[in-house]
Structure 1
Amino acid sequence: MPHRADPARRKGVLPTMALPHRPTESSLFSGIYGLVLASALVAALDGTGEDADPGPDALWVLLTALAAGAAHGYAHVIALRASADGATTVSRLRLVLAEWPLVAAVLPTVAMLLAAMAGWWSEAAAADTALLLNTVALFGWGTWAARTAGYGWLSSCRAGFMDMLIGLAVIIADTLIE
């Protein structure tokens, strides 16, 4: 997405200071999606009554994120092909590789599970911490996305709070299911 000097503003959106590095809408979407995916996966992998095995769990979280990123990028390629756009193979590959924020967003969760594998803490503590960290990160990414779109601080924090509710819903569901 090209960066424009004077981005178009929606009605009711206050102009803000230009960001030195403006993240693309796609990278913000992928990052938020990756956090939700990581939370859902760690909640599902943290089963009660099972022997803790955080190493394979970390691998599953990472492989699932890689598969989801590749599938999402490939869906863009298919949509491009369906629109009869004559894009080259290189630009199609860029569409798939542009999903890196999805994979990057799950890396803290993977790191926490690997720390549990190393014996630094239990898998349950790693899963609970990952769920909490991802929920806080959802607030941050949601706020950042709204600020990038030109919203004021109050509206941006409200958007971040709405994103954070997704993480809270995963935590509540995990608590109720266990």
Structure 2
Amino acid sequence: MDEGAGPAPAGSGTPGGILRSRPERWLFKGIYGLVLASALVAALDVPGGEADPGQDALWVLLTAVTSGAAHGYAHVIAQRASGDGTARASRVRAVLVEWPLVVAVLPTVAMLLAAAAGWWAEETAADTALLCNTVALFVLGFSAARTAGLGRLSSCRAGALDMLIGLVIIAADALIE
């Protein structure tokens, strides 16, 4: 397939590789990973509870890997149910292309590990992760809109709507605490 011809249709058999997945897939999985990391860090940061940021980092990472694998495997099951007789390699690839979801949680994991190393308090790490993930949601929404050809103002609105997800998680965290 010619590089300038656009992305290959799903299931076309064209080798795209894990690293050459379509940008919209990266955005979808990146946003999903950021929301997942934010929700987990908000839920794991229990005020008054004994802080264990190392264990929290492990839970965030393990949940992301498990979610990615489950999402990829759900695609495999859907292909199988539709009677699509694709090769086993494409089934493995369906699971492996979920890597952006895992990558999206790594900054949160790093912040929690920094807290485990004593560089800052777990509460500070959790709050910083929530803030960084919210900003990243804006950036992903903005860049997706710009890639789609929208103007700056429309792209800012799209980014703000994505960022709203992070703000809802922050608000819910504040209300629950």
User: Normalising to structure 1: TM-score of the pair?
Assistant: 0.87
The residue aligned with 1:105 is: 104
Whole-Å separation in 2 of the counterparts to 1:100 and 1:47: 29
* Equivalent residue number for residue 30 of structure 1: 29
| Offset of residue 24 of structure 1 | 2.5
C-alpha distance in structure 1 between counterparts of 2:158 and 2:91, whole Å? 32
Q: Aligned partners of 2:105, 2:165: CA distance in 1, in Å?
A: 16
Listed as ranges, the gaps of 5+ residues in structure 2 are: 8-19
Q: Which has the higher contact order (CA 8 A, sep 6+)?
A: 1
- Corresponding residue for 2:57? 58
* Structure 2 contact 30–104 (Cα < 8 Å) conserved: yes
Q: SS of 1:138's equivalent?
A: helix
Aligned pairs, number: 164
CA distance in 2, matches of 1:65, 1:115: 19
Do the aligned residues in 2 keep the contact of 1:28 with 1:141 (CA within 8 Å)? yes
Cα RMSD, aligned residues only = 1.9
CA contact (8 A) 2:21 2:97 kept: no
Separation in 1 of the partners of 2:115 and 2:78? 41
Q: Report the identity percentage.
A: 72
> CA shift at 1:147, angstroms?
2.0
Matches within 5 A, 1:120-139: 120-139=119-138
Stretches of structure 1 that go unaligned for 5 or more consecutive residues are 8-20
Q: Distance in 2 between matches of 1:69 and 1:126?
A: 24
Moved more, 113-122 or 82-91: 82-91
Residue 145 to residue 23, structure 1, CA distance change in 2 (3 Å):
farther
1:135-174 equivalences under 5 Å are 135-174=134-173
Task: Give deviations 1:75-104, integer Å, cap 9, x for gaps.
Answer: 111111122112111011111111101000
**Using a 3 Å threshold, how does the CA distance of structure 1 residues 114 and 6 change in structure 2: closer, same or farther?**
closer
Partners of 1:23 and 1:148 within 8 A in 2: no
> For residues 40 and 55 of structure 1, what CA distance do their matches in structure 2 show?
17
